[in-house]
Structure 1
Amino acid sequence: MFDTMVITKAVGAICATFLFFLVGKWAAETIYMPAHGDHAAAVYPLPTEGDDHGAAEAAPAEEIDVDALYASADAAAGEALWRNCRSCHSLEGANGTGPHLDGVVGRAIDAVDGFNYSGALLQVGDTWTVENLFHFLEDPRSAAPGTRMSFRGLRDPQDRVNLIKYLEEHPA
């Protein structure tokens, strides 16, 4: 049953398997590992105990004058940004996945009848003021932890005020 040829094939298969893994390891190290050598530095140095220069101090966030920025807002540019919102919201008074946004500027935060709010939005404030909308639109998940809104936010402050200006031009 076991002759020399069967044993040779089995040993060859084992050697081929090891060779396959060896070539795979070499390829992975070449692609993903930094260069080796004495002068090669780590790509992302990890801080160790007593190592102060590894943990950088977080810079304080720059204060933005929302009112001054809002004075220069362009509603036409905000209309182009509306495409991010219209998949869940409308401006015609009908609720979708999210509440309708016509007349949102100056409206109470949980004022849309027939929409089931998550309750997390009450952390933002009582009214959707320009400043509340400005901070909420930057990152909805951090402004109202626990909100069901999945929008990732608008990082550019000018984009945020443009969108708010566009929404303000659509009263209820």
Structure 2
Amino acid sequence: MPSARPRTCHCPTPSEGAEMATPLRNLERVSWGEIKDSKGSAEAIPFLLNTVAWGDAATARAALQDLRERICQFGFVVEQATAATVPFLWELAELPQVTCRVQIIQLLRDIAEARQWERTAAAYPKLLNRRENWVGWEREARQAVRAHRGTLQHLLAEPDTELVRVTAELATTLAD
């Protein structure tokens, strides 16, 4: 089983002297080591987000797949770290140099649609009394996706037709 420890990043990084709008500059504001993803500590999430931002196409896709497994397992099971990760996913989706923007939008849509724990708790209310607040994590994650829906208009104006298509699907999900 892969370790949840952060790895040394061998991916491209922004050039020295990059302008103040450097992506992901607020990652350190999140206490990643104090929250959990599906593999344990969420400490690896900043590394994965940076790899998505600066990696080549294959590396970025692999990092996004790992991230997906950590914050939205099976496409519908969110974790404690999901809501904290969502704003960074929106940020990456807006950057033209990010090679997997379509997949990022699909991940955001999956998070917005996640209701696994909520539905289970409706049938088994005892789930609400557990130490892990799965229902709350799910709601927080959906709210985090909705909080950045103003980004949709920008993405719908992109020249990439596949990006526009999945963004329109996300917009429909958020309109429900």
Q: TM-score, normalised by structure 1?
A: 0.26
Q: Choose 1 or 2 for highest CA Rg.
A: 1
If asked which structure has higher relative contact order (CA below 8 Å, sep 6+), I would say 1
Q: TM-score, normalised by structure 2?
A: 0.25
